[in-house]
Chain A
Amino acid sequence: MSTQARSFTPYLFMAPAAAVLVVALLYPIAYMIYASFLDWNPSQRIGQATFVGLRNYTSLWSDANFRESFGVTLKFASLVVSIEMILGVGLAMLLDRSIRGMTVLRTIFILPMMIAPIVVGLIWRYMYHPTVGIFNRTLNSLGFESVPWLSDSFWSLTSIIIADIWQWTPFIFILSLAALQSLPRSALEAARIDGASGWQQIVYIKLPLMMPVLIVTLLLRLIDAFKVLEVVLVMTNGGPGLSTEILSLRIARTASEFRELGVAAAMSNYLLILLMILTAIMFTYTRLSEARAARLRQMSEEG
């Protein structure tokens, strides 16, 4: 076999994967980008749609409903992810020890993640029910006023945030726990011998060492939080008003209710761009901090 053929071999092995990538990923995205320049309703074939250039993109910014929905999404995603990170990592720290029945406990903890989103929405919807829901009944029996969980714009956003935290904190918990348990014991032991307190161990040893995992976890959750649909759809359907109409719900409604596929595609692209920016920022941050760590290591080795 000649060297030329051999250098060609890796590409040959990659070809199937590349082909799948092109067909399954790039083609739909290219299609979506193309569709976002069209005035296209679902009764038309794509060939019959009229080309409108950037109109779908520009008109969205003068659409108050879209801006409100965008704001709701940002608020929802940032709140949900930060609370989940704090709770999830906190729980992992607390449970990072050998307790009997830990395997069972861990399984129970990740149960919410395994339930189908539609069911999660239904469960919470019933629990938030104004008269027969468990929350209001408990509040009433303790002598408190009922809370308008799903019928007030502040509370309904709070309600979907609570439901999302309930469902997705375990995800962060399980990943952080895995990260914690794979930390080098030597570093922790050294810290203990040097007399570091529990807090000091967490702040100076555990968290920095977990950082790469935490960043990826954060990113995964963030991407997911921007795309959440079913739970909100079932619980509030975006209401009252537009107080819980997150972007993915708005996209779904634009496509099926308003029958504007081009506008829906443009919205999806905005979401895609936003997520790509977030991803880029986070990867840049990881790369910078890795570079900094490498530099420090080199300096200490030289010194």
Chain B
Amino acid sequence: MKFTRSLIGLAAGLALAGTAMASPYDDYKGTTLVVNFPAHPHYDAVMRVLPEFTKQTGIQVEVDQLQYLKMREKQTLEMTKSKGDYDLLAYVVFSKADYVYADQLENLARYFMNPKLANPGYDAADLIDGYVANIGVAGGNKGYMDGPTGSLFGVPFGAETSILGYRKDIFEKHSLKVPETYDELLELACKIPELEPGMGGLASRAASGHQASHAFLLHLAPLGGRVFDDEWNPIINNEAGVQAAQALKTIVDCGPEGSKTFNFAEAGAAFLQGNTAMFLDSTVFAGSVNNPEKSTIVGKVGWAPHPMGTRRGSQTGGFGIGIPKNAQNKEAAFLLMQWLTSKEADKLIALEGGNPSRYSTHADADVNAKFPHMATFGEALKHADPDWRPIIPVWGKINADLGTELSKVLTEDLDIQTALDGVASRAAAIMDEAGYNTWK
């Protein structure tokens, strides 16, 4: 079936080659790529742009969209086969460590070196540095980051950072200043419920597990903390860690009703329903604010960079796209990947409501005319911190433990220092078992 299709494609390609101008895509015309994307607002936008790729290149794309937490299981299964079904896949940032370590993703060097494949006009310097370091590169600093020994395994696509959304009307009504520092943020978070009875200050995720852990890490980096020091010793229980947990607790205590168990969607819904005056989380959320079907606060939201503590450090996360080692159409997959992350497609996707991966798209006039917050997001991205959370294979376990303990802090009033000391000592044992102490 595939063979006949490629034969037809080849024949069509040959026929066209005689008449039309040669295009770098000619050799791959008629190829059908199978790609795995998450069900996610960015990729929904991508789906609307993909027909343009097929129109320009003659390469067909079949998309398997999955819920993003389910993707890893499916991908892991696919990539352990000797011949995989996926030619290109979107991976969640924390899968990077597992995939690269298991040698399941193609090193992209040999594609960017290939003059027949690599487009000289790609302008990789325009890709947002924090995203590339966090999502694309592995093998550099700490093993999971960029650095002199790093190489590229994927390109950020559907990446996101954290941003502060606030209710302009409420802020004007009480002549409040948009918080720039953590002190201002925390003060305001608890002041708003007094000024506007029934309204919470800031909606945050807090549900047990990944959600609580994510919310905590969001504050940890700006407040000057890290999970590990440079020698893999857990330092999550130091002063900055305690401050970050305290910040989370303050925010949740002054948050809208029920916020102790909010997940990302519920925290977002609280903001959209007007139950809270501020929202500090992923940029992916910005798309829904002005959608009257989902939001009661259309036109009332302003955006500001993630407030700073001792330093600036918004999160980096979301997705990247990479080519599995066992893919069957790797070169065509690279062409698709290059096209999707090119300036042209990045803009098209942004106009459809996706998250751009390039500085130029954030500054683009057309994009800003449609989404005025893009310029602010572009500014905020300059401070995106690629190392706000470790991307190591054992992180899943430490993350779960951290999230559980934080949930106990939020709902059962467990002492913060005790909770973080426990996490740190268990993390030390996990790290030791995983071999991170070998060189000590």
Interface residues of A (CB under 8 A from B): 41-45, 65, 129-131, 146, 148, 150-153, 236-242, 253, 256-260
- Contact between A253 and B258 (Cβ–Cβ < 8 Å)? no
Interface residues of B (CB under 8 A from A): 72-73, 76-77, 79-80, 98-99, 101-102, 104, 207-210, 256-258, 260-261, 263, 275, 393, 396-397, 399-401, 404-405, 407-408, 410-412, 414
Instruction: Choose among A153, A237, A240, A260 the residue with the greatest number of B CB atoms under 10 Å from its CB.
Output: A240
**Distance between Cα atoms of A130 and B411 in the complex (Å):** 14
Given contacts A43-B104, A146-B257, A153-B408, 14 further A-B contacts (CB under 8 A): A42-B77, A43-B76, A45-B80, A131-B257, A131-B258, A236-B208, A236-B261, A238-B404, A239-B261, A240-B407, A257-B210, A258-B397, A259-B396, A260-B397
Number of A-B contacts (CB under 8 A): 87
Choice from A43, A148, A242 contacting B79 with Cβ under 8 Å: A43
**Distance between Cα atoms of A237 and B400 in the complex (Å):** 12
- Contact between A151 and B260 (Cβ–Cβ < 8 Å)? yes
- Contact between B102 and A43 (Cβ–Cβ < 8 Å)? yes
- Contact between B412 and A241 (Cβ–Cβ < 8 Å)? yes
**Distance between Cα atoms of A65 and B400 in the complex (Å):** 11
- Contact between B400 and A253 (Cβ–Cβ < 8 Å)? yes
B82 to chain A: closest residue by CB: A45
**Given A148-B260, A238-B209, A241-B208, are A259 and B393 neighbors across the interface (CB < 8 Å)?**
yes
Name the A residues within 8 Å of B257 (CB-CB). 130-131, 146
Q: Give chain B's interface secondary structure class.
A: helix
**Which 4 residue pairs spanning A and B have beta carbons closest together?**
A239-B208, A130-B258, A43-B102, A240-B411
Name the A residues within 8 Å of B104 (CB-CB). 43
Give the shortest distance, in Å, between B257 (CB) and chain A (any CB).
5
Give the shortest distance, in Å, between A90 (CB) and chain B (any CB).
34
Give the shortest distance, in Å, between B69 (CB) and chain A (any CB).
8
**Given A45-B80, A65-B401, are A240 and B102 neighbors across the interface (CB < 8 Å)?**
no
A152 to chain B: closest residue by CB: B411
**Distance between Cα atoms of A150 and B401 in the complex (Å):** 20
Name the B residues within 8 Å of A130 (CB-CB). 257-258
A155 to chain B: closest residue by CB: B411
Name the B residues within 8 Å of A150 (CB-CB). 261
- Contact between A259 and B98 (Cβ–Cβ < 8 Å)? yes
- Contact between A241 and B397 (Cβ–Cβ < 8 Å)? no
**Given A42-B73, A65-B401, A151-B261, are A237 and B396 neighbors across the interface (CB < 8 Å)?**
no
Name the B residues within 8 Å of A65 (CB-CB). 401, 404
Give the shortest distance, in Å, between A218 (CB) and chain B (any CB).
31
- Contact between B207 and A237 (Cβ–Cβ < 8 Å)? yes
**Distance between Cα atoms of A258 and B94 in the complex (Å):** 12
Name the A residues within 8 Å of B410 (CB-CB). 240
- Contact between A153 and B412 (Cβ–Cβ < 8 Å)? yes
**Given A65-B404, A148-B260, A151-B411, are A240 and B208 neighbors across the interface (CB < 8 Å)?**
yes
Name the A residues within 8 Å of B256 (CB-CB). 131
**Distance between Cα atoms of A154 and B408 in the complex (Å):** 12
- Contact between B407 and A129 (Cβ–Cβ < 8 Å)? no
Give the shortest distance, in Å, between B425 (CB) and chain A (any CB).
11
**Distance between Cα atoms of A253 and B73 in the complex (Å):** 12
Name the A residues within 8 Å of B263 (CB-CB). 237
Instruction: Choose among A43, A131, A237 the residue with the greatest number of B CB atoms under 10 Å from its CB.
Output: A43
Name the A residues within 8 Å of B77 (CB-CB). 42
**Distance between Cα atoms of A237 and B104 in the complex (Å):** 31
- Contact between B79 and A238 (Cβ–Cβ < 8 Å)? no
Give the shortest distance, in Å, between B64 (CB) and chain A (any CB).
19
Name the A residues within 8 Å of B258 (CB-CB). 129-131, 151
B252 to chain A: closest residue by CB: A151
Choice from B79, B99, B208, B399 contacting A237 with Cβ under 8 Å: B208
A242 to chain B: closest residue by CB: B404
- Contact between A240 and B73 (Cβ–Cβ < 8 Å)? no
Give the shortest distance, in Å, between B20 (CB) and chain A (any CB).
44
Give the shortest distance, in Å, between A111 (CB) and chain B (any CB).
28
Give the shortest distance, in Å, between B62 (CB) and chain A (any CB).
25
Name the B residues within 8 Å of A240 (CB-CB). 207-208, 260-261, 407-408, 410-412
Give the shortest distance, in Å, between A172 (CB) and chain B (any CB).
31
Sample (18) of A-B pairs whose CB atoms are under 8 Å apart: A41-B98, A42-B73, A42-B76, A43-B80, A65-B404, A150-B261, A151-B261, A151-B411, A237-B263, A240-B208, A240-B410, A241-B208, A241-B408, A242-B404, A256-B72, A256-B73, A258-B397, A259-B98
